[in-house]
Amino acid sequence: MVSNTTTRGSRRALMSSHHHLLLLSGVASLMPAVTNAFISTNQHHSNNYHQLTTSIHRRSVHLPKRNSFQLSSSSSSSSDEEQPTNSVTGPIYEMTNDDNNNNTPPPKIKLFTKEGCTLCDKVKDILSEIRTDYPHSLYAVDITDDDKQVWFDKYKYDIPVLHMEDVYWTKHRLTKEEAIQGIEEAVSAGGEFECRKGEPDAGRLEH
pLDDT in tens, the chain (207 residues): 444 444 444 544 444 454 455 445 554 555 666 556 555 555 555 555 555 444 444 444 333 333 333 333 444 444 455 556 799 999 999 998 888 777 788 999 999 999 999 999 999 999 999 999 999 999 999 999 999 999 999 999 999 999 999 999 999 999 999 999 999 999 998 888 999 999 999 988 886
Q: Would you state the pLDDT for residue 204?
A: 87
Radius of gyration for the chain, computed over Cα atoms and rounded to the nearest angstrom: 48
As to burial, measured by CB atoms within 10 angstroms (0-12 exposed, 13-18 middle, 19+ buried), residue 207 is exposed
Q: Would you state the pLDDT for residue 59?
A: 41
Backbone φ and ψ for 108, nearest 5 degrees, come out as: -105, 125
Helix (H, G, I), strand (E, B) or coil at 62: coil
**CA separation for the pair 141, 147 (Å, rounded):** 11
Helix (H, G, I), strand (E, B) or coil at 169: strand
Going across the sheet that includes 137-142, the strands are 90-93, 137-142, 108-113, 161-164, 167-171
Q: Would you state the pLDDT for residue 46?
A: 53
**CA separation for the pair 137, 96 (Å, rounded):** 8
Q: Would you state the pLDDT for residue 56?
A: 42
Report the predicted TM-score, pTM, of the whole model to 2 decimal places: 0.60
Question: Looking at beta carbons, which pairs linking 52-59 to residues 24 or more positions away fall under 8 Å?
Answer: none
